[in-house]
Amino acid sequence: MAKKSKKKNGKAATAKAAPKGAAPAAKLKGKDYERELAKLHAELVKVQEWAKATGAKICIVFEGRDGAGKGGTIKALTERVSPRVFRVVALPAPTEREQSQMYIQRYLPHLPAGGEIVIFDRSWYNRAGVERVMGFTPENVVQRFLELAPSFEKMMIESGIHLFKYWLEVTPEEQTRRLTARIDDGRKIWKLSPMDLKSYSRWYDYSRARDEMFAATDTAWAPWYTVRSDDKKRARLNIISHLLSMIPYKEVKREKVKLPKRQKPHGYKEPNYPYKWVPEKF
């Protein structure tokens, strides 16, 4: 189990940063990563079955710098579990109607019901981040959000939701490398939006916004967990391992699976049908 953080004045203590100049850990080898990830996937399946059996409600929020690896982490979390239980929420820009609603109203329908695990790929904290830095929301509205967010999250937890908030932090150099790599990669160019380019130039505005967001919303009941993500593979393993340590799940006993006997053909014969087979190029 993870060590509990010390609390002071209702706030959760933030983990100390590594000493400046400390040598980074060696990159994790692919085989080592896959081996450890497979073990964690097996545990995530246990969490899934436990949530279904007990009606547990789990909400996981991922925030962080552009290019910090949120999408890859979410993919690693969900690739071996059921999308009916592990549900990913990545909302587009709000519609005109949504802009006229109470701000949190947009997110309420997506919160987990019993037996669900909801993962927010960015969340209500858009208000404290991109909306603030890019000038989409007046400063007084942002300040009011920062005041109210802890109370909203306390209500979530008191309703039985297990809430976990992760901030992925990447260095300026690694962010530059990753965003540059997207420019000429046909698989990744869709990840580089005009908003990403504008955000890239405002590194320190985002730093200030992050710092104030942490100061206001890093509470004892809903702390922020910060992750170094220059090494994507290590970050994914660390996040999943930490998440598992925080969820009070137990393995649900299941009957041993045994395939039944397949029925006999009883005269059935394959038809002489002109199937339109997919060309086998590989």
Beta-carbon contacts of residue 266 (< 8 Å; ≥ 6 apart): none
Instruction: Give the rounded percent of residues in the chain with a pLDDT score beyond 70.
Output: 91
Question: Shortest CA distance to 67 belongs to which of 165, 166, 135, 168?
Answer: 168
**Residue 68 maps to a domain:** yes
Residue 29: per-residue pLDDT: 85
For the segment 113-121, the average pLDDT, to the nearest whole number, is 98
Q: Is the pLDDT of residue 245 over 60?
A: yes
Token pair listed for 277: 């087979």
**Residue 172 maps to a domain:** yes
**Residue 44 maps to a domain:** yes
Q: Is the pLDDT of residue 10 over 80?
A: no
Residue 49: per-residue pLDDT: 97
Total-model pTM: 0.86
Per-residue pLDDT reduced to its tens digit, 200-219: 899 999 999 999 999 999 99
Per-residue pLDDT reduced to its tens digit, 67-104: 999 999 999 999 999 999 999 999 999 999 999 999 99
**Domain encompassing residue 152:** 28-246
* 201 CB-side CA count, 13 A: 5
**Residue 176 maps to a domain:** yes
Domain count within the chain:
1
**Residue 82 maps to a domain:** yes
Token pair listed for 44: 């995530």
Alpha carbon distance 239, 241 (integer Å): 5
* Residue 57 and residue 162 in contact, taking contact as beta carbons nearer than 8 Å: yes
**Residue 70 maps to a domain:** yes
Residue 2: per-residue pLDDT: 42
Residue 37: pLDDT band (50, 70, 90) is very high
* Residue 224 and residue 217 in contact, taking contact as beta carbons nearer than 8 Å: yes
> Which residue has better confidence, 89 or 26?
89
Q: Find the CATH number of the domain harbouring 231.
A: 3.40.50.300
**Residue 100 maps to a domain:** yes
Per-residue pLDDT reduced to its tens digit, 218-230: 999 999 999 999 9
Task: Please provide the distance, in angstroms rounded to a whole number, between the alpha carbons at the two ends of the chain.
Answer: 46
Max Cα distance, the chain (Å): 77
Alpha carbon distance 38, 46 (integer Å): 13
* Residue 76 and residue 240 in contact, taking contact as beta carbons nearer than 8 Å: yes
Residue 196: per-residue pLDDT: 80
**Residue 260 maps to a domain:** no
Q: Is the pLDDT of residue 4 over 90?
A: no
Question: Shortest CA distance to 129 belongs to which of 168, 72, 95?
Answer: 168
For the segment 141-161, the average pLDDT, to the nearest whole number, is 98
